[in-house]
Amino acid sequence: MDFDLHVIENGIPLLMKGLITTIWVCGASLGIGTVLGSVACLSKLYGNRQQRLLANAYVNLFRTVPELVVIFWVYSCLPLFLNVRLSAPICGLVAMSLYAGAYLAEIFRAGILAVPRGQTEAGLALGIPTLHIWTAIIIPPALRRMAPALMGFLTELIKVSALLSTIAVGDLFYEASLIAAETFRYVEMISVVAVIYFIMIFPLSMIARYKERRLRAEIGH
């Protein structure tokens, strides 16, 4: 079997374009997901009955339905309900954000609940304003506890983004498979894509493991 490096070389511009789309979609859905996740998390922790119910429904729905189904549903069903035309990248972004929000909500919730109640009580007893109880007392230690899970989730998010190629969003995998289909050089293109994903994700998972180890050493178990 011959492995044609020229195909890869010629494909670099398209692969770069795809890579940028992948990074862009992951970054944006992480951002929107953070907002959705925060709202869902706070609703679950402090909301009234309806808010808790709604947040639970959202989180459970998007954590159980396969990501591919969510992507297709947003792409082919949501526009019918809303009676609008949505481009594939927008649909992809919406689906990924909804998915990210549901997972992040649970990560945030676990992080906040891991901060001992006594910390908040000490802040309250000192008369510290609510905003500062959050920004100075709860969020910093919560973030440190969440860090491993957050890194782990980011790796999942990047992997899931490859599914967007199924609705023709021009991400890394989509561009690679286009080139492969045109040139019939599947081995080269799919392999190089695998390597690129590995290079992106492996350092992240190493950081996640490192943070996890350090956190365990700090907490002491």
The binding site for other proteins (CB under 8 A) comprises 116, 118-119, 121-129, 132, 136-137, 140-141, 144
Distance of closest approach, residue 44 Cβ to other proteins, in angstroms: 22
How many angstroms separate the CA atoms of 40 and 51, rounded?
8
Distance of closest approach, residue 212 Cβ to other proteins, in angstroms: 18
Distance of closest approach, residue 140 Cβ to other proteins, in angstroms: 5
Distance of closest approach, residue 141 Cβ to other proteins, in angstroms: 5
Distance of closest approach, residue 113 Cβ to other proteins, in angstroms: 16
Smaller CB separation from other proteins, 113 or 136? 136
Amino acid at 23: I
How many angstroms separate the CA atoms of 23 and 196, rounded?
12
Q: Which residues contact 111 (CB under 8 A, 6 or more apart)?
A: 142, 143, 145, 146, 149
Smaller CB separation from other proteins, 187 or 215? 215
| Residue 112, Cβ density class (10 Å: 0-12 exposed, 13-18 middle, ≥19 buried) | buried
Smaller CB separation from other proteins, 63 or 213? 213
Smaller CB separation from other proteins, 136 or 206? 136
How many angstroms separate the CA atoms of 208 and 153, rounded?
10
Smaller CB separation from other proteins, 94 or 146? 146
Q: What is the DSSP letter of 127?
A: T
Q: What is the DSSP letter of 86?
A: -
